[in-house]
């Protein structure tokens, strides 16, 4: 009993230290976004000026728009391609399916810097100028494997006989897919989209090598600002992003709990 209590207390202490290690930097960033002083070592008073400056900065708002547009478009296109590919792979024989899935896992296991340099060299070799379109293509490329891994388990859970029954009852293959198969794999499709969106939003290395001049995302902008000194308005932007994600997580969990209670 004594040893079990000691282990429980040590586990709680360990959990507290981990939470402090993970969230103390975020809490510091949030506090600094309201600090009048530009110094990170001195509290100069409460202010909302950095939030006002944030929305007035054309550079930051342009990078923010680019980040959201690229993340949404790449996640959407990767989800469509990945879902269609997952359906095709699911209907393959065992050996080809194993080979394709092994190839699919390579981009996820590969170092981002290798992927980024490879894509950059590929664009240059084909004479494609680096810019918005190359970032979008790159993000679609590394997002597809994550979508595949999200959709494949759901496809394995579906019953092929229900699809065939729909065909026997007169439905076309397309109608049968959307009426029978798609509702079953929809949670996997949504999970794949959200995962792809998050990966795109968070990416720096691949974006850095494929962006070219004259375009920035939030991650590449922060990297360039570090060398000159980060502006407090970037703290404000990070705080807004963190707050938005936190609210979405809370709403999502509440909605999921309500769905589970109804079941």
HSE (side-chain half, CA atoms, 13 Å) at 164 = 3
CA-CA distance, 145 to 186, in Å (whole number)?
17
pLDDT of residue 75: 92
- β-bridge mates for residue 46, sequence order: 35
Give the Cα-Cα-Cα angle 113, 221, 58 (nearest 5 degrees). Answer: 150
Digit-coded pLDDT (tens) for 117-144: 999 999 999 888 888 899 999 999 989 9
Digit-coded pLDDT (tens) for 56-109: 888 888 888 898 899 999 999 999 999 999 888 888 888 888 888 888 888 888
HSE (side-chain half, CA atoms, 13 Å) at 59 = 11
Looking at domain 57-230, its CATH class is mainly alpha
pTM for the model: 0.81
Q: Does residue 260 surpass a pLDDT of 70? A: no
pLDDT of residue 163: 73
Of 54, 104, 113, 97, give the one whose Cα is nearest residue 78: 104
| Helix 58-90 and helix 182-202, axial crossing angle in degrees, nearest 10 | 140
Query: 210 near 120, Cβ under 8 Å?
Result: yes
Q: How many residues does the chain have?
A: 263
Query: 163 near 178, Cβ under 8 Å?
Result: no
Query: 180 near 166, Cβ under 8 Å?
Result: yes
pLDDT of residue 140: 93
Most confident of 39-43, 155-159, 173-177, 191-195: 191-195
CA-CA distance, 41 to 62, in Å (whole number)?
30
């Amino acid at each position: 009993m004594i040893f079990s209590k000691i282990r429980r207390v040590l586990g709680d202490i360990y959990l507290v230290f981990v939470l402090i290690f993970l969230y103390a930097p975020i809490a510091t960033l949030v506090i600094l976004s309201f600090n009048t002083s530009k110094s990170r070592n001195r509290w100069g008073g409460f202010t909302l000026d950095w939030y006002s400056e944030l929305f007035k900065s054309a550079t930051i708002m342009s990078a923010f728009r680019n980040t959201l547009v690229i993340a949404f478009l790449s996640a959407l296109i990767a989800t469509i391609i990945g879902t269609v590919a997952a359906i095709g792979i699911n209907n393959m024989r065992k050996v080809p399916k194993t080979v394709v899935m092994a190839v699919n896992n390579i981009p996820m296991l590969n170092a981002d810097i290798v992927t980024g340099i490879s894509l950059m060299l590929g664009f240059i070799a084909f004479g494609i100028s680096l810019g918005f379109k190359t970032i979008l293509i790159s993000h679609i490329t590394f997002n597809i494997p994550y979508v595949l891994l999200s959709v494949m388990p759901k496809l394995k859970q579906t019953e092929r006989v229900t699809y065939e029954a729909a065909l026997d009852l007169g439905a076309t293959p397309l109608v049968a897919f959307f009426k029978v198969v798609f509702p079953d794999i929809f949670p996997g499709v949504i999970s794949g989209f959200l995962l792809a969106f998050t990966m795109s939003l968070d990416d720096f290395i691949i974006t850095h090598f494929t962006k070219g001049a004259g375009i920035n995302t939030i991650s590449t902008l922060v990297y360039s600002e570090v060398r000159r000194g980060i502006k407090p308005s970037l703290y404000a932007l990070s705080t807004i992003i963190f707050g938005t994600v936190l609210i979405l997580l809370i709403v999502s969990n509440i909605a999921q709990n309500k769905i589970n209670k109804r079941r």
